[in-house]
Chains A and B, each alone.
Chain A
Amino acid sequence: MSIPDTANDFRGRLAAGSELSGSQKLMILVLSMTLYGVGDLVCQIIPELEAGPFQIGVSYFAFIAVVLAALLNPFWVALGAPLGELVFADMLLGDFGGFGELEGFLQTALAIFVAGTLVRNPRSLKQLAVAPVVMVLIDKLTGAAVDILKVVVGIDPETLEDADGLFSALLFIEGSDIVITVILSGILFGALPAMWLAPRLYGKIEPIMGLRPRDPQNPPTMRGPWGVNIWVVGALVFLVAGAITMFAQWEEFVGREGIGTFGAFEPDYIDQFGDFYLWIAILIAAAVGFGAFIVIKALRSRSATTVERRSSDRA
């Protein structure tokens, strides 16, 4: 016999750790891409109800992303799900929006990541109910901010100065859109299905992929392979929450003053406006920062694997 019976090529191997391997990350990414992408297609098949100017339709199945992010590693789900929307629905249907897709990707990724970290125990109905609503709010608020920014940048400053009512109208539209989306996508197709689905899948879907179910005592956000600090996430959430508060006040103001004083131009309108700009800037900065964060982490994990591979080659 050429090999002695006592030979053990695998002696130097470390015992399977709790960190995700590259292939497990890829598995999570592909799974969330596929499911969210199919969900997006189904969304388009569910008929939309048009009541007057309002289009009441399900814009996306928030529950799919939230359930996946609640059960599996939220970071990779946050990358995979918007990618699914991008390639399954948008690219394949020839509905690819170019630069617009990039901003959509970042918004959705941020929203899913935050929502996923909120669910520390996939059996907790309370956390499952909150997460989809938070997801929709983050996604829609950043989206609204970007939309408004587009108008601000897109209109000649001179015209903009005289453009009474445009912003009120815009805010009203974005605001009503957010309310409808929170109800339909955040609650009806978000919180309710997530509360039904996540506990059923908990402990079933993870072993299929060779993963350990999420431990409520030790949710993955506390210490991830890419060093996500809970404080970083907290800071992001805080920023966004601040924006939400600010926006709510602003909307209230417009709602009362705008409609109450038809045609009248209030001087402090401009002041509020300045603040609002600031918040938009902060939101964009948060989104860009998150994007940069993702890129840096991805690069770092890549170089880490290369080092690993090199060292194993040497061994």
Chain B
Amino acid sequence: MTTPAAIDDQRVSDPVTGLPAIEIRNLRFRYPGAEAESLRGVDLTIDSGDFVAVVGGNGSGKTTLCKTFNGLIPHFWNGDISGTVRIQGRPTADRTVGEIANQVGYVFQDFGNQLVRPRVRDDVAFAPINFGHPDWAQRADAALASLDIPHLAGHYTWQLSGGQQHLTALAGALALAPTILVVDEPAAEVDPQRATAIYEHLTRLNTELGITVIVIEHHAELVARYARSVVLMADGAVRWHLPVADALSRTEDLEAADIPAPQVVAVTRALVPAVAAGHRPAPLTVAAAAELLGGHRTDRVAPPPIRPARHTRDLVAELDAVTHGYIAVGGGRSTVIDGLSLRLYDGERVALVGTNGAGKSTLLSVLAGLAVPSAGRVVVDGHDTRSMTAAELATSVCYLVQRPEEMFLQDSIRGDVAMFPAGRQLPDTEDIVDQVLARMNLTDLQDRDGRMLSGGQQRRATLAVALAMRPRLLLLDEPTSSLDLRSRDDVIGLLTALSGQIRCTVVATHDMHLVAEWADRVVVLDQGTIIADTDPATLFADPQTLRRARLVPPQVAQLGDALGLSPVPLSVPELVDRLRPTSKDTP
């Protein structure tokens, strides 16, 4: 273990109390019944006013650590605990969670379940009222105003988008005017632009109100852009706590914790020896990287992308002037998809992108035959969805919903995979299931309940369910959401490997890395219509469409664009390859 806190030397104390925000000494914790300790001697000091990112692999203890900050551990989760946790000098040991909540605000990873009242303003005012603060109304309004969401005050919480729910949860925590704010994975389930927006808010709270912000995060790009210091957790202890630039140059440590370096760092390390050797700091933004790489414009012309010759391929599915919507609570029908026509061909890997509410999920459920459009025609694998039930269509189409736990209907992975073949009484059910499980590397896990697995394993299990259905058309809703980056890369790899078995795959996603690395066709939806139908490289070089659909291309594409490459590169190796100087002009 290296020095516990390298930035202890330049510690900033709270101007009023003269104490650090959080001070932890030799903290050990074990959940009841658990064999191993989840925290093994944590030493950590977080200064007042810092913006800290806590990073670490699955099971490194980051969430457990953060739950000691506000006393949920040990007051809510009992267990064997020893050591010290002090918040602005006051121990958490002899106070209730409620008391500490006035110092430490907490936003959970599944923030949706944190909201308990029907309307936004009621929810935000919930805590101040419970604690009997007479100025609860001002507090609630101030919290809403500080996040620019006063216009949501009267909305029902169940009608909010993910990003809005997150802001509401944040406002609920802020209404107690805490000096410390802990946010568990703010970017996990929202589109990139909204993730950026949440981070902008956190930054403002940090700089303008002086709130100490602590986030758990595994997107190195966001850490690089917003955090001031980084805590790396490994095996239940703090490996190091460093200023952000130093932290991000320790790429091996980060890789080991399943935090791949930001793409700009990876590219510059591959191309600039001084950065790779650690003599120069790695650039943290696209602009900085573009400046650094300005001299590398060797730019061999990339081969033009092979556009699939669609007319020669078989048609898998067709939507013809489809309109669909839902009944609104206020009466009338909302239109989610509006006169949309689309043809899907054999061998295509289609990414469906667009903002929340653009109609992606609705389009998928129409394609799966779960909903029959209110106007227009949907033909899948030669069958009009109006003429067949969704159950009959299931032999041709498979739809994997966003939350894997809703796909696990049985008490074992094997049961879930076998459900379809067994239900249809296929003669070789056992063989099919064995094969699929082996292929997806799930044989060892087959008797476990899907919910008990890690996020990455859950996605693998749902893909196994799909594979056993042998569909011609596979539809996936957000297959990479709330995954750490390593698991996300696994899922992308599996999807690529599946293309031999499934004729056409459609993925609705916010994840532009998935789009860049996997898709060969992108359909951009906005307000129920298609505003672009193209390939990823063309999309990432089209600022107008990107802005309209609120898309943020991967850094590598942005960097390529800034360097004037056309078509823009889609992966780090591609960019490196295109920029790598030929041997004679080595600097």
Contacts and interface: CB of A to CB of B under 8 A. Distances in A.
Interface of A: 1-13, 15-16, 21, 23, 200, 204, 207, 210, 212, 309, 312-313, 315
B82 A16 contact: no
B414 interface: no
A8 B83 contact: yes
B94 A315 contact: yes
Contacts of B94: 9, 312-313, 315
Nearest to B79: A16
B260 interface: no
Nearest to A208: B451
24 contacts: A1-B25, A2-B23, A3-B84, A3-B86, A4-B25, A5-B25, A5-B43, A7-B25, A7-B83, A7-B84, A9-B85, A9-B93, A10-B74, A10-B82, A10-B93, A11-B82, A13-B81, A16-B80, A21-B78, A23-B76, A204-B411, A204-B449, A207-B33, A210-B78
Q: Among the interface residues B76, B78, B452, which one has the most CB atoms of the partner chain A within 10 A?
A: B78
A21 B97 CA distance: 13
Given A16-B78, A16-B80, 19 more contacts: A2-B19, A3-B23, A3-B86, A5-B26, A8-B84, A9-B85, A10-B83, A10-B93, A12-B93, A13-B74, A16-B32, A21-B76, A23-B76, A204-B449, A204-B452, A210-B31, A210-B77, A210-B78, A212-B33
Contacts of A23: 76
Interface string B219-245: 000000000000000000000000000
Contacts of A2: 19, 23
B91 interface: yes
Nearest to B89: A2
B80 A9 contact: no
A13 B84 CA distance: 13
Interface string B479-495: 00000000000000000
B43 to A, nearest CB: 8
B441 interface: no
B246 to A, nearest CB: 22
B92 interface: yes
Contacts of A13: 74, 81, 93
Nearest to A313: B94
B96 interface: yes
Given A309-B96, A315-B94, A9 B83 contact: yes
Nearest to A27: B76
A263 to B, nearest CB: 56
A312 B95 CA distance: 8
Query: Which secondary structure dominates chain A's binding surface?
Result: loop
A195 to B, nearest CB: 14
Contacts of A309: 96
Contacts of B93: 9-10, 12-13
Contacts of B85: 9
A4 B25 CA distance: 8
Contacts of B83: 7-10
B96 A210 contact: no
Interface string B390-404: 000000000000000
Contact of A15 (B76, B80, B91): B80
Contacts of A207: 33
A23 B96 CA distance: 12
B59 to A, nearest CB: 16
Which 9 A-B pairs give the minimum distances between C-beta atoms?
A: A16-B78, A9-B93, A9-B91, A7-B84, A10-B81, A16-B32, A200-B411, A3-B25, A9-B84
Interface string B450-465: 0010000000000000
Greatest chain B CB density within 10 A among A5, A9, A315 is at A9
Contacts of B86: 3, 9
Contacts of B32: 16, 210, 212
Contacts of A9: 83-86, 91-94
Contacts of A210: 31-32, 77-78
Nearest to A197: B411
Nearest to B34: A207
Interface string B60-102: 0000000000000010111111111110000111101000000
Contacts of B79: 16
Interface string B137-171: 00000000000000000000000000000000000
Nearest to B77: A210
Interface in B325-356: none
Contacts of B25: 1, 3-5, 7
A2 B90 CA distance: 12
B250 to A, nearest CB: 24
A184 B74 CA distance: 45
A7 B33 CA distance: 25
B13 to A, nearest CB: 10
A104 B26 CA distance: 53
B482 to A, nearest CB: 18
Nearest to B8: A1
B126 to A, nearest CB: 15
Interface in B13-53: 19, 23, 25-26, 31-33, 43
Contacts of A200: 411
Nearest to A30: B116
A23 B71 CA distance: 13
A16 B34 CA distance: 13
A1 B85 CA distance: 14
A3 B86 CA distance: 9
B287 to A, nearest CB: 40
A139 B509 CA distance: 50
Nearest to A309: B96
A10 B81 CA distance: 7
Nearest to A312: B94
A31 to B, nearest CB: 12
Contacts of B26: 5-8
A315 B94 CA distance: 8
Nearest to B33: A212
B144 to A, nearest CB: 26
A312 B82 CA distance: 18
Contacts of B19: 2
B522 to A, nearest CB: 39
A312 B449 CA distance: 41
A284 B91 CA distance: 52
A11 B79 CA distance: 13
Nearest to A201: B411
Contacts of B96: 309
Contacts of B449: 204
Nearest to A7: B84
A9 to B, nearest CB: 4
Nearest to B41: A5
A7 B84 CA distance: 6
A210 B67 CA distance: 15
Interface in B104-127: none
A36 to B, nearest CB: 18
A2 B33 CA distance: 34
A249 B85 CA distance: 67
Contacts of A16: 32, 78-80
Contacts of A3: 23, 25, 84, 86
